[in-house]
């Protein structure tokens, strides 16, 4: 079958064997259901040579070849689809960052940063345990100090009773009343000592032992020395106000007990200060590490929000581009007009 030429000029179809091109035209060679599209810009009266069906190589200068339309392969649609897939993935990533508040939430996001952040989170967990131990130790010492303060107040009150009893001319009834008050106050000291415990730890009773408080992740401790404040340790358990001479001996013992109690309270106070300083440092260290973790993995939500809006606009444009590209193959139908239709 000999090839035919169909010349399209401004949507008007004419047939000729060798058309003269006065403007930009599309010449289509049709044979055996194969075709090639040729764009020609030639001067007036220049003849378009004939080509065999399927020939894609132009043999005349001044002609440019446009790759043929295909209903099987749509390169433009493939490119648009690829870009749309990329944008959808980026939108998914941005939405995950906004949802979790993290720009690095898994090793896939940034393996090195994720590893560092995981290690630092472990350090924070360890420091949290240290902080809890320090708080527990501080509570134990605080209870002991509160009990020591109460005992010191009782010793001061007892001294007043002893001084009153240290009179040679005191009548029997008054001395008996002072003795009774003395015994009652001394018993109160024992009651305070026996109840001054926190979490089953008592630092001021007769059997008290030193307390080791965890102070670092490495396992170092702060040792709080036991400070027994029972009446036996203070040396007033056997004192009496029954006579003037006994009261004189009791006065010496009470003054010694007051000094001893004050020293023990001072030691407890120093231990409490050390625990408090270490606890404050541990809290500060935790805050600094958590801030560092945030700098590594936290997402900037303002930035991510702006990025999400931009990506959504790009996605909409990609969808439109894909729709246009998908419609391109249908243009082939215009190249094969139905016989008898308006030309």
Do 61 and 159 sit in the same domain of this protein? no
Please say whether the beta carbons of 203 and 227 come within 8 A. Answer: yes
- Does one domain contain both 154 and 288? yes
* Contact (CB, 8 A) for 42 and 64: no
The CATH number of whichever domain residue 264 belongs to comes to 1.20.1330.10
User: Is the pTM value of this prediction over 0.85?
Assistant: no
Classify residue 179: in a domain, yes or no.
yes
pLDDT value at residue 178: 92
Q: List all residues 6 or more positions away from 278 whose beta carbon is below 8 Å from its beta carbon.
A: 134, 215, 222
Decide which of 257, 273, 297 is a domain's last residue.
Answer: 297
Rounded distance, CA 228 to CA 190, Å? 11
Mean pLDDT in consecutive groups of 10 residues from the start of the chain, 343 residues: 39 40 38 36 40 41 47 82 90 89 88 94 95 96 96 95 86 90 94 94 94 94 95 92 90 95 96 95 96 92 89 89 84 73 55
Quick check: is 309 in a domain? Answer: no
- Is residue 21 within 8 A of residue 35, CB to CB? The reply is no
Angle separating helix axes 301-327 and 75-100, nearest 10 degrees: 160
30 neighbors 4 (Cβ within 8 angstroms): yes
Read off the pLDDT of residues 243-298 as tens digits, 9 standing for 90 and up: 888 999 999 999 999 999 999 999 999 999 999 999 999 999 999 999 999 999 98
Helix (H) or strand (E) holding 214: strand 211-214
For helices 111-165 and 172-195, the axis angle rounded to 10 degrees is 170
CA atoms of 150 and 28, how far apart (whole Å): 111
Assigned domain for 144 exists? yes
Residue 54 pLDDT: 41
Check residue 340 and report its DSSP letter. T
For residue 132, what are the β-bridge partners? none
Same structural domain for residues 119 and 45?
no
Looking at the structure, tell me whether residues 138 and 198 fall in a common domain: yes
For the chain, how many structural domains are there in total? 2
* Residue 322: partners with Cβ closer than 8 Å, 6 or more residues away: 77, 80, 81, 84
Establish how many alpha carbons lie within 13 A of residue 83's alpha carbon, considering only the half-sphere containing its beta carbon: 18
- Let me know: does 258 contact 170? Beta carbons within 8 Å: no
Six-digit token string for 31: 């044979």
Q: String of b and e for 238-258 (b: at least 16 CB within 10 Å)?
A: ebebeeeebbebbbebbeebb
Does residue 253 lie in a domain region? yes
* Whole-number pLDDT of residue 28: 39
Scored b (16 or more CB within 10 A) or e, 97-123 reads beeeebbbbeeeebeeebebbeebeeb
What's the rounded Cα separation, in Å, for the pair 211 and 299? 44
If you ran DSSP here, which 8-state letter would residue 196 be given?
-
Quote the domain boundaries for residue 238: 111-297
The answer to whether residues 60 and 119 belong to one domain is: no
Q: What percent of the chain has pLDDT over 70?
A: 78
Vertex 107: Cα angle to 102 and 109 (nearest 5): 55
């Amino acid at each position: 079958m000999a090839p035919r030429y169909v010349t399209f000029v401004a949507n008007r179809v004419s047939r000729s064997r060798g058309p003269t091109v006065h403007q930009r035209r599309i010449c289509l060679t049709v044979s055996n259901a194969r075709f090639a599209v040729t764009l020609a810009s030639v001067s007036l009266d220049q003849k378009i040579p004939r080509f065999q069906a399927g020939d894609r190589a132009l043999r005349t200068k001044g002609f440019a070849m446009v790759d043929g339309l295909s209903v099987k392969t749509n390169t433009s649609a493939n490119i648009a689809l690829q870009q749309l897939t990329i944008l959808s993935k980026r939108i998914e990533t941005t939405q995950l960052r906004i949802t979790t508040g993290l720009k690095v939430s898994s090793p896939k996001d940034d393996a090195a940063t994720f590893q560092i952040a995981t290690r630092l989170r472990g350090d924070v967990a360890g420091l949290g345990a240290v902080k809890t131990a320090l708080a527990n130790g501080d509570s134990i010492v605080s209870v002991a100090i509160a009990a020591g303060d109460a005992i010191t107040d009782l010793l001061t009150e007892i001294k007043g009773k002893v001084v009153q009893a240290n009179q040679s001319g005191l009548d029997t009834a008054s001395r008996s009343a002072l003795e009774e008050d003395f015994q009652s106050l001394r018993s109160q000291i024992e009651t305070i000592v026996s109840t001054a415990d926190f979490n089953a730890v008592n630092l001021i009773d007769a059997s008290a032992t030193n307390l080791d408080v965890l102070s670092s992740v490495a396992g170092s401790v702060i040792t709080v020395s036991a400070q027994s404040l029972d009446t036996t340790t203070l040396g007033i358990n056997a004192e009496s106000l029954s006579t003037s001479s006994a009261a004189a001996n009791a006065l010496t013992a009470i003054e010694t007990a007051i000094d001893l109690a004050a020293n023990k309270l001072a030691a407890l106070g120093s231990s409490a200060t050390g625990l408090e300083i270490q606890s404050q440092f541990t809290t500060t260290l935790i805050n600094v590490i958590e801030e560092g973790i945030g700098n590594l993995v936290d997402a900037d939500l303002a930035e991510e929000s702006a990025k999400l809006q931009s990506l959504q606009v790009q996605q909409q444009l990609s969808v439109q581009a894909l729709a246009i590209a998908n419609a391109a193959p249908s243009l082939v139908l215009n190249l094969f007009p139905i016989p008898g239709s308006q030309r």
